[in-house]
Chain A
Amino acid sequence: MLELRGICKRFPGQPDAALSGVSCTVNKGESVALVGENGAGKSTLVRILSQILRQDAGTVFLDSVDVLQNPEYMKHRTATLFSGESSLYDRLTARENIVYHARLNGIRKSHYEHHLAALIEELSLSRYIDDRVSTFSRGMKQRTAIARTLITNPEFVILDEPSSGLDIIAIESVKAIISRLGMDGKTILFSSHSLDEILCAQRVIILHAGRIVCDSPVDRFLPGRGEDIPAYLRD
């Protein structure tokens, strides 16, 4: 279980805090969608959970272990797909990108080889796996990036806008992957601007101006239920 208590973060030179007292819990095996307008603090929260930023205040517990005191505990169990560009090395092949990530995380060849083969099959990468990433379309890059994220077989998967910039077919593919991860018992936290994608989750956390304004089951936001996500994002 992931538990956030009073997470605060302010960047130097910025008048407003990026995060103000964010507290929530993500249960093991749960799929949670993180929603918010641009600048709401979603990416900042993702980076704090990935331990590439440190919060100014508050604590993060993973399975009751304080992550600040034991950063390795979280790093071994978490994998993050960051937003924006696919963050792959263009001069390497897809396979090299994925294997490099696995090796940096201490995964031995005997452990990742079988898993890699399964991911290649699942993400339809077999035709391109040994091609340089510089030749890939955006959708292919994103699938490769997802494969890289999952190669370490993490318990906790963080996806920051996984379908950003993708076409309809690629988005469907990403949704299928998120659903499959949930069925595999993985804990998923993903941010999205797509209502379709959000509805794949079990819970929705809405961030607005660095604060959680709603944390509820996704049922409330299903079509016809009367709840409207954008309403929470208006001042």
Chain B
Amino acid sequence: MKLLILLKKELIDQIRDRRMILAALFMPAIIVPLLLVFMTLEPSMGETRSPVRVAIDAGSVGLQEIVRTSFTDPRFILSDVPTEVVRDGRADVGLESLPTDGETASFALHYDPARRVSELAYTRVHSVLQTHFAGAERRTDARSIRAAPIRSELENSSLLTLSLLLPVFLMVFSASTTMSSAVDLSAGEKERSTIETLLSTNISRSDIVAGKILAAFVVGITAVAALLTGMIISSWFFPGITGGVSLLGVVGLPSIFLIGVHMIVCVLLFASLGMATGLYAKSVKEGTVLTLPVIVLASALSSGLIGGDPYVFDPFLLAIPIANASFVIRSILYGSPDYSAFMQSVAVNSVCAAVFFFASSYLMNREAVISRS
């Protein structure tokens, strides 16, 4: 009976916290549909992105018209080594003529099994070619089409695992650690009643905000470094956790360093956002609840459900914070870092960080900043 009395009181206490209700009910109701809308913008399994890029060598030029029927306005890239063009990401699928085995001409159809767009393109081209040559009236018209994935199964497995997991881990852990720290430094300062003394000292409020954001940033970037170090070491000894090839085996140390450098601006963004959230909230609890949808959003945007192909440069995607950083991380993992996308991502995330810094400064200058629940 006393348990029910306690339960009733706790529920009343929770329900009367309007901000908590807003964060716990309203925001998830908005975030999830928003994510689903974003996901519908991505091509479904049966669709390919236009225009599909097909690499062909001189011996495969005759197949151009047949392949053209598979897609709307495909682009053909003439190359002596179609497999390299596919590996570089400049083409989605490659057609290469092989030495004939007597009467039947052979072709290799190169594709990247680690890229959905490439797999879909391969399926389409392979199907149309098989259909066309299966009905050949003369033997000399027959063609042999051989599937030629550009990556080994092990490499493919590792790349898929890492491209799915690494951006998500990096974003989720950096977001949660950094924003948690920022909320503690802001809302926690109010809860611990230290904010009034701090504001009465001879330091400007903007400096207070900047100092706290930098402190949260240090915590966050340390978490990123720890995560990358942990993955390097654990996948070195147990490569199975990353699909069969260690993280260092998939990408070298310089690329990992590049990923770490790129995370700097993301962590700064989370620190600024966390600071603004903490200054807005009246308690650490409220601040933490308000950051949860951000963490959910960060994990979804970084998961590859949105803009997962590392070679498809989408200007719209690059304007979305976190999603743009995940795209850059994937392109680095695939061994073809897009430096233009890198700079754009840095610029967008920096601007967002600056916006939240100014928001934090505004909130710190309000009288309500000393109010606590």
Residues of A within 8 A of B196 (CB): 47, 50, 52, 80, 82, 87
Contact between chains at A80 and B367 (CB < 8 Å): no
- A-contact 0/1 string along B188-229, CB 8 Å cutoff: 000011101111111100000000000000000000000000
Contact between chains at A104 and B202 (CB < 8 Å): yes
* A-B residue pairs, 7 tightest by C-beta: A85-B193, A104-B201, A50-B200, A52-B199, A105-B202, A87-B193, A87-B197
How would you classify the secondary structure of chain A's contact residues: helix, strand, loop or mixed? loop
Residues of B within 8 A of A79 (CB): 200
Residues of B within 8 A of A90 (CB): 192
Residues of A within 8 A of B197 (CB): 80, 82, 87, 101, 148
Shortest Cβ distance from A200 into chain B, in angstroms? 24
Residues of B within 8 A of A85 (CB): 192-193
Interface centre among A52, A80, A82, A90 (most CB of B within 10 A): A52
A88 with B194: in contact, given A52-B370, A53-B367 (CB under 8 Å)?
yes
Shortest Cβ distance from A56 into chain B, in angstroms? 11
Shortest Cβ distance from B212 into chain A, in angstroms? 13
* 8 A Cβ contacts from B157-213 to A: 192-194, 196-203
**Does chain B have a CB within 8 A of A108?**
no
Q: Which residue of A lies closest to B367 (CB)?
A: A53
Residues of A within 8 A of B201 (CB): 75, 101, 104-105
Q: A53-B367, A101-B197 are in contact. List 9 more A-B contacts (CB 8 A).
A: A51-B200, A53-B370, A80-B197, A80-B200, A82-B193, A85-B193, A89-B192, A89-B194, A104-B201
A54 with B193: in contact, given A72-B202, A101-B201, A104-B201 (CB under 8 Å)?
no
Residues of A within 8 A of B200 (CB): 50-52, 75, 79-80, 82
Interface residues of B (CB under 8 A from A): 192-194, 196-203, 367, 370
* 8 A Cβ contacts from A7-25 to B: none
Interface residues on A, range: 20 to 34
Residues of B within 8 A of A80 (CB): 196-197, 200
Contact between chains at A87 and B367 (CB < 8 Å): no
Contact between chains at A84 and B193 (CB < 8 Å): yes
How many A-B pairs fall under 8 Å by CB?
Answer: 49
Contact between chains at B202 and A75 (CB < 8 Å): yes
Instruction: Give A82 to B197 CA distance when docked, in angstroms.
Output: 7
Q: Which residue of B lies closest to A88 (CB)?
A: B194
**Does chain B have a CB within 8 A of A76?**
yes
Instruction: Give A79 to B164 CA distance when docked, in angstroms.
Output: 55
Residues of B within 8 A of A226 (CB): none
Instruction: Give A187 to B158 CA distance when docked, in angstroms.
Output: 72
- Our pick among A72, A87, A106 for the contact of B194 (Cβ within 8 Å) is A87
Residues of B within 8 A of A76 (CB): 202
Residues of B within 8 A of A82 (CB): 193, 196-197, 200
Instruction: Give A79 to B199 CA distance when docked, in angstroms.
Output: 11
Instruction: Give A88 to B194 CA distance when docked, in angstroms.
Output: 6
Residues of A within 8 A of B370 (CB): 47, 52-53
Shortest Cβ distance from A52 into chain B, in angstroms? 4
* 8 A Cβ contacts from A33-53 to B: 47, 50-53
Instruction: Give A105 to B196 CA distance when docked, in angstroms.
Output: 14
Residues of A within 8 A of B203 (CB): 104
Interface centre among B192, B197, B370 (most CB of A within 10 A): B197
Residues of B within 8 A of A47 (CB): 196, 370
